[in-house]
Structure 1
Amino acid sequence: MPTSLCGTWDMISNVNFDAYMNALGIGVYLRKIALRLKLRKVIEQQGDQYIIKTLSTFRNYAISFKTGQEFEEFTKGLDNRHIKVRTDVVNVGNKLTCEQVGEKKNRGWAHWVEGDKLHLELHCDGEVCKQVFKKNVNE
């Protein structure tokens, strides 16, 4: 199992987010709003069940899944897509990874912890966005 991802994490950097959202087909207006947001991640785990919440002043999104099980996801509040998802916890590199199968090619993400930082790498159709979060000090 990976290093614990659990906790509340505040965004400190967000690289190539605009190009990633463009690859998803998100319109310019929504991209401009999203680029201004400072996201907060709240990650909870109970056994092999994860709940990952992405919170902002504009929209919130939550996903719940069990590792290693395929499930349907509706990305309401993000890019509003219905996708089939495969998730797996990868021991090498302590990453929680997800590959999303749907209308977009090579779409997915990986979360991992290095030191006191949570890293999130999002990819879609050749574009890669790298986000870094720091653990919330009030936790």
Structure 2
Amino acid sequence: MSIQSVIVGKWNFESSENFDAYMKEAGVGMMTRTVAAKLKPTLEFVVEGDNWTMTSVSTFKTHVSKFTIGKEQDDKTADGRDVKSLYTLENDHLIQVEKSNSGGKDSHIDRYIDGGKLVIICECNGVKSTRVYTKA
């Protein structure tokens, strides 16, 4: 099955490893990192052709990303960084490349389904974080 069909719906946070180190490397401030490390967000994906909506809901904030596969766009990350994001589909992985608009650091985010779980690998300058979600 394609990632477009299996990723649709809600996902509950299960686990995270090395997320603080990734955020620090990406240039996220300590206060934001401290709050983000404690959150257990729910993710929801809606897919209509090449148009996607990804919504992250937590007790702290709701962040909505609307994007079109293959089209670079200005974006603001959930932690407040201004970036250009490009989403692509590669071998049933949803790949996001974030390029800083303000002289910051770039990130690479790989989302895929493994064993029925949503796995998200975030990487900045070789520092990786793995976050795992289960279908709601």
- Considering the TM-score relative to the shorter chain, is it more than 0.5? yes
RMSD between aligned residues: 1.5
Could you tell me how far 1:24 is from its partner in structure 2?
Answer: 2.0
**Alignment partner, residue 95 of structure 1:** 93
Q: Distance in 2 between matches of 1:72 and 1:49?
A: 15
The 5 Å alignment of 1:2-21 reads: 2=3, 4-21=6-23
Provide the residue aligned with 1:63 in structure 2. 65
CA contact (8 A) 1:104 1:124 kept: no
**Partner residue of 1:132?**
132
TM-score normalised to the size of structure 1?
0.87
| Contact 1:106/1:126, CA 8 A, preserved across alignment | no
Structure 2 residue runs of 5 or longer lacking an equivalent are none
Identity among equivalent pairs (%): 27
Point out where structure 1 has 5 or more consecutive residues left out of the alignment. Answer: none
In structure 2, relative to structure 1, the CA distance for the partners of 1:105 and 1:81 (3 Å cut) is closer
Alignment of 1:116-131 (within 5 A): 116-131=116-131
Secondary structure at 1:57's aligned position in 2?
coil
Q: Which amino acid aligns with 2:110?
A: A
Determine whether 1:79 maps to 2:74.
no
Q: What is the Cα deviation at residue 21 of structure 1?
A: 1.1
* 2:96 maps to amino acid: C
Q: CA deviation at 1:106?
A: 4.1
Question: What letter matches 2:68 in structure 1?
Answer: K
Contact in 1 for aligned 2:109/2:120 (Cα 8 Å):
yes
Q: How many residues align?
A: 132
